[in-house]
Amino acid sequence: AQSVSQHNHHVILSEAASLELGCNYSYGGTVNLFWYVQYPGQHLQLLLKYFSGDPLVKGIKGFEAEFIKSKFSFNLRKPSVQWSDTAEYFCAVTNDYKLSFGAGTTVTVRA
Amino acid sequence: EAGVAQSPRYKIIEKRQSVAFWCNPISGHATLYWYQQILGQGPKLLIQFQNNGVVDDSQLPKDRFSAERLKGVDSTLKIQPAKLEDSAVYLCASSLSDGGNEKLFFGSGTQLSVL
């Protein structure tokens, strides 16, 4: 069965620090990759997605993610976080049209 | 654009009772999903509809869970009877199609507590 692994359960950092969240998946075939974000009190929303082409994908709010096929990874990055980036971040992968989520990483940004 | 609507927002029941959740997807979205999110875990797909047909219900505990989308628009998810381990947030999402690369739009969820 396909699985999605997020390495960090909780990340705490200060404003202006750089952020990188790890995501690995187990399926070896063609996949579509997503990062979703859930801000406090809000619903899940799409941050960015990768289907094909340039493996470096840029999303909203200064986030980007890099697909490394050989490592089965799709790590999320942001060079300089803000307090408003405090949220829970979910990596998700589709194969055969079924979307599977990782367990999520809670990011807390201290002002 | 109106988002995905879910109700109720919260529900508290005792074990062995029944409960139902309602979802109205974004207008024009053919695909509707129900996810279960247990505290500390990522959302787990329970069932996926394409219009009024079931695409995937492989992770739906069919002995107690049921879902329908009779007219291909809104949907209900039912649990009968509920168990303690069913305590979770039940998320409804919709997308234009089920192409696998579609953006999902999520509702706010129904938080279920089974006592």
Contact A99 B41 (CB under 8 A): no
Of A49, A51, A102, the CB nearest to B42: A102
**Residue B1 predicted with pLDDT over 80:** no
pLDDT tens digits for B17-52? 999 999 999 999 999 999 999 998 899 999 999 998
Whole-number percent of chain A with pLDDT over 90: 77
Tokens of B98: 């089920």
Cβ atoms of B89 and B77 within 8 Å: the answer is no
Chain A residue closest in CA terms to B99: A97
Distance from CA of A111 to the nearest CA of B (A): 25
CB B20 within 8 A of CB B11: no
Task: State whether residue B26 is helix, strand or coil.
Answer: coil
Residue among A44, A57, A88 with most chain B CBs within 10 A, to mutate? A44
Buried b (16+ CB within 10 A) or exposed e, B13-23: beeeeebebeb
> Please, are residues A54 and A69 in contact by the beta-carbon 8 Å criterion?
no
Cβ-based contacts of B44 with chain A (< 8 Å): 101
Instruction: Write out pLDDT tens, residues A61-110.
Output: 999 999 999 999 999 999 999 999 999 999 999 877 788 899 999 999 99
CA–CA min distance A35, chain B (Å): 11
